[in-house]
């Protein structure tokens, strides 16, 4: 019984770690605001059709250096008010019927996909570049990082069409609108946005940590003085 419980406990980790693929390192950083802006644009244009980011509000995109007007004009397709969350354009039930799997919410996907093999960013950067043509799949696409994935290759127009050659390596069979280098850059920007979204507070959080420690030091000083004051007559 105990063994079964332990197996259940670790099942999610095993599921993510299994079939461990080589992960390419994400080359970007969350400090690069223009890259994050481009990533946000790609995200609303290509991903929001199926995936929501329902813990993210449109007005938070101002933290990427955009004005509310720019957000309204260029990025807001699934909401009327700037304070609304980034909801999915289609309904979840419909998608299950199309793809046999519901596209998960992507707000924290960069954290959810972190594994022993690498960061969530590395996994996403690899996944979004490793779709290939596969006639055996209902969507016509498969993926080296996510075997038999239910998601079609949404960015195929940009990347072109890859196939698996006889050495089981990816090969660009039909070129896309972007060169391989440009495509990698676009995906890197998109991953940057996903990483930022998963933890938009990461910069502030570090500062808050220091503030909390300082506050505790000061509090300790007061508490100690107070204790001395209380006990001084008792001895
Ligand atoms: C046509 C609908 C559709 C679009 C558009 C789409 N996806 Fe997906 N996505 C799916 C489905 C369906 C799944 C679930 C696949 C599965 O479980 O087999 C999925 C899964 C994923 C996963 C894996 C989630 C996990 O299980 O960890 C990631 C990451 C992802 N999508 C990212 C993206 C990004 C980034 C974009 C935009 C470039 C995008 N998707 C656009 C349908 C879509």
Is the pLDDT at 16 greater than 60? The verdict is no
- As a whole-number percent, the residues of the chain with pLDDT over 70 amount to 84
- As a whole-number percent, the residues of the chain with pLDDT over 90 amount to 66
Tell me which of 87 and 93 has the higher pLDDT: 87
- How far away, in angstroms, is 230 Cα from ligand 1 center? 63
Tell me which of 204 and 59 has the higher pLDDT: 59
The residue assigned the tokens 């996510």 is: 146
- How far away, in angstroms, is 104 Cα from ligand 1 center? 7
Task: Give the residues across from 142 on adjacent strands.
Answer: 132
Contact between 171 and 162 under an 8 Å Cβ cutoff? The reply is yes
pLDDT of residue 4: 62
CA angle 221, 227, 230 (to 5 degrees): 145
Give the pair of three-digit tokens for residue 215: 């506050």
- How far away, in angstroms, is 153 Cα from ligand 1 center? 9
pLDDT of residue 232: 87
Rg of the chain, C-alpha, whole Å? 23
- What DSSP state is assigned to residue 115? B
**CATH architecture of structural domain 19-200:** Orthogonal Bundle (1.10)
Instruction: Say if ligand 1 is within 6 A of residue 86 CB.
Output: no
pLDDT of residue 107: 92
Phi/psi zone of residue 148: left (φ > 0), alpha (ψ -120 to 50 degrees), beta? left
Which atom of ligand 1 approaches the CA of 95 most closely? 12
- Quick: pLDDT tens for 90-143: 665 566 666 678 889 999 999 899 877 678 999 999 999 999 999 999 999 999
Stretch 35-60: mean pLDDT: 94
62: helix, strand or coil? helix
The residue assigned the tokens 């924290």 is: 108
Is the pLDDT at 144 greater than 50? The verdict is yes
pLDDT of residue 44: 95
pLDDT of residue 8: 57
Question: In the chain, what are the domain boundaries?
Answer: 19-200, 203-235
Instruction: Say if ligand 1 is within 6 A of residue 51 CB.
Output: yes
Mean residue pLDDT of the chain comes to: 87
Task: Give the residues across from 163 on adjacent strands.
Answer: 171
pLDDT of residue 91: 64
Nearest residue to 114 via CA among 34, 16, 24? 16
pLDDT of residue 18: 45
pLDDT of residue 207: 74
pTM exceeds 0.85: no
Give the pair of three-digit tokens for residue 135: 């006639």
Which atom of ligand 1 approaches the CA of 47 most closely? 37
Tell me which of 231 and 40 has the higher pLDDT: 40
């Amino acid at each position: 019984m105990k063994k079964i419980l332990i197996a259940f406990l670790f099942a999610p980790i095993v599921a993510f770690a299994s079939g461990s693929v080589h992960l390419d390192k994400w080359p970007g950083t969350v400090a690069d605001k223009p890259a994050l802006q481009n990533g946000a644009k790609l995200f609303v244009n290509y991903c929001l059709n199926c995936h929501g980011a329902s813990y993210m509000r449109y007005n938070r995109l101002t933290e990427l250096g955009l004005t509310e007007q720019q957000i309204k004009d260029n990025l807001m397709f699934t909401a009327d008010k700037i304070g609304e969350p980034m909801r999915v354009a289609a309904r979840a039930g419909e998608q299950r019927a199309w793809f046999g799997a519901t596209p998960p919410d992507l707000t924290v996907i960069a954290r959810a996909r972190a594994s022993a093999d690498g960061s969530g960013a590395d996994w996403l950067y690899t996944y979004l570049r490793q779709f290939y043509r596969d006639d055996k799949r209902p969507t016509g696409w498969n993926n080296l990082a996510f075997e038999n994935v239910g998601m079609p290759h949404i960015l195929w127009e940009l990347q072109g069409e890859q196939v698996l050659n006889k050495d089981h390596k990816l090969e660009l069979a039909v070129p896309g609108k972007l060169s391989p280098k440009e495509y990698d850059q676009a995906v890197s920007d998109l991953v940057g946005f996903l990483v930022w979204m998963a933890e938009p507070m990461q910069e502030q959080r570090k500062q808050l940590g220091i503030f909390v420690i300082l506050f505790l030091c000061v509090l300790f000083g007061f508490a100690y003085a107070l204790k001395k004051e209380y006990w001084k007559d008792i001895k």
